A = this chain, B = another copy of it.
Amino acid sequence: MIEELAVKTREGAELIDVTAEVQAIAEKSGVKNGICVVYVPHTTVGLLINENEPGFHSDLIGVLDRLVPQKGSYRHPDGNAHAHIKAGLIGSEKHFIVRDGRLVLGTWQSVFLCEFDGPRTRSVMVKVMEG
């Protein structure tokens, strides 16, 4: 079973915590032990695991903007080359271990959709597998 979350982003670049939604899908799946795969079918969005602390959000976005500036001599059309590159560096997929019906997460870990070319409505796909 694959579940799909619709996530509305409101900024050009922002981190949106989807941990609770992914955790709820894992619990609902009935899978006791296995893995949970999270995937974004987009090329200007990434998935990242880290702390849900507002300073971290703006630090991460700030560092990526410094390393891959929005304005640059890019060849990709559409003016969003920087967003493609950031998404490529961050990656489109993550997996989690499921134990006793829940994702195993560290105390400070959250899962974020990282928007780099918003605002848009984005999709997050979640699959839970027994094993």
- A41-81, CB under 8 A of B: which get 1 and which 0? 11100001111011110111001000110000011110001
Q: Does B43 lie within 8 Å of A109, measured CB to CB?
A: yes
Binds B, one of A6-14, A17-25, A32-40: A32-40
A37 to B2, CA, bound (A): 17
> Does any Cβ of B come within 8 Å of A93's Cβ?
yes
Task: Select the residue from A34, A93, A107 with max chain B CB neighbours within 10 A.
Answer: A93
Q: Residues of B contacting A94 with CB < 8 Å?
A: 91-93
Q: Name 22 interchain pairs, CB-CB below 8 A, sorted by A.
A: A2-B97, A35-B127, A37-B97, A39-B96, A39-B97, A41-B105, A42-B108, A43-B49, A43-B51, A43-B109, A49-B88, A50-B88, A51-B84, A53-B76, A55-B74, A56-B75, A59-B74, A59-B75, A59-B76, A60-B85, A91-B94, A104-B125
- CB-CB nearest 3 A-B residue pairs: A41-B106, A55-B75, A55-B76
